[in-house]
Amino acid sequence: MPENPSKQAHSEALSDIMLASAHNVRAVLAGRSLSDSLATTPSALRAPAQAVAFHTMRQLGLAREIKQILVRRQPPDALVDAMLLVALALLDTAAEYAAADGQGPEGALPGDAPRGRRPDRTSQHRDDASRPGDPRRYQPVYAPHTVVDQAVKAMDSQRSLRPFKALLNGTLRTFLRERPSILTQARQNPEAFYNHPEWWIEKLRRAYPAQWEQLLEAANLPGPMILRVNVRRSSVAEMLRALEEAGIDAFQAGPDALALVAPRPVQAIPGFEQGWWSVQDLAAQKAARLLPLQPGMRVLDACAAPGGKTAHILERVDVELTALDADAQRLERVRQNLQRLGLDGPSVQMVCADAADLSAWWDGQAYDAVLADVPCTASGVLRRHPDIRWLRRERDIPRTAALQGRIVDALWQTVRPGGHLLYATCSIFPQEGELQAVQFAKRHADASRLDAPGQMLPLPDGEKVTQDGFFYALFAKKA
């Protein structure tokens, strides 16, 4: 779902949006993924609640530190705590923009220089940039007094929250009055300055000494919406014409890829139901092209859900494909995606099993090509899943690395001599990328490493669109 809510969604009261967002933020703080939590949000509120919740996740380090400075005692109710964080994240952005607009004392105080450009007063979202994914286009921006008023109204709407209404009101007003000094104090904490856990900051600093700050900054930008054209049903040229006729600005960003200047709900884009395209980042679109595929090959897509790479393989080449995943519900999403794209049929087999447990699923017939898009920390896709940084723990990295090793060692047994295995992760941690590939090559003397992109960082590289963080290593099995 795109981050910028529709105009219709903004007809919902901000107080309701903030309350729904707070429920989702509370879920993340309790260890639940934001995507799963948002799925339970009422449909009328889901788009605007996602925008505010995403914004809060990108500002969570700062909001937490501001709350720590202003609130002496931790609120006893987790929803009150989440409401404070949502309101402070929105209010800081509101005050920044009020200062940029030259507004009075209820915005930022004089001398508090904004970090962004002057906002468009006619919009609740920053619309002064044309680059896809620019935060100025999609950040939720409201007047400071509106944020305070609607936050208090949200608290007043719930009997359990009413006793804390004065606490929230006083906290927000104190922040507005003393914002410059509070921000100076708060940003002494690296987690508040960079809006990432301190262990995450240190991992990137050690791994990328020349780029770590850029990576942290880039992770706080929303990712662009990229469409992968289904070449069996449409073409880049046809899709560009259809988008132009629908008044949607887009441009070609890859061989089969189009980038939308502004995200849209998928149902609002021509050709969704007809299967003309899928949403898939440019980095993920490389997988189907890196595997050396020929018609008639026997191909395995391990850890296949939600099916983007599976579909891309089938769009490009007529192969016999096995889509394998350990999660039955996610595997059903693969089936649904293939059905919408017109790619389901007798040449596609779906298997629900643990990829590392060959006895549970493999029939002993070797594969010509295996895509091992293994589980990882997803540290390369924070632009689209800003909650990930707060859900992960440092101990997760060695755990996922060990799981990855078990999976690829098992899958290597299924590759025929002369066949290929493509190792892929959407991570930027070396333990899940280059170090994993090096160790795999050491364990398997019959593996030859071929040319592949290796570590792709989510940083501008001269292209119009910045890709997600991804890692690819391609291996051939010696005959």
Q: Catalytic site residues?
A: 426
Q: Where are the alpha helices (DSSP H) in 356-417?
A: 388-391, 396-412
User: Among the residues of 101-220, which ranges form H helices?
Assistant: 135-138, 144-156, 165-177, 179-186, 190-194, 198-207, 212-218
Token reading at 427: 């991570």
- From the centroid of its chain, how far is CA 266? 16
Taking alpha carbons only, the member of 118, 117, 100 closest to residue 109 is 100
| CA–CA separation, 3 and 134 (whole Å) | 12
Tokens 């989440």 correspond to what residue? 82
* Beta-sheet strand order (sheet of 250-254): 250-254, 257-260, 225-229, 277-279
CA 24 – CA 283 distance, rounded (Å)? 29
Residue 102: count of CB within 10 angstroms of its CB: 9
Longest dimension (CA), the chain: 74
CA 178, 179, 180, 184 torsion: positive or negative?
A: positive
Residue with token string 């619309």:
127
The DSSP symbol for 7 reads T
Q: Tell me the residue ranges of DSSP E strands in 247-308.
A: 250-254, 257-260, 277-279, 298-302
Angle between helices 144-156 and 14-29 (to 10 degrees): 70
As a whole number of angstroms, the distance between CA 88 and CA 60 comes to 9
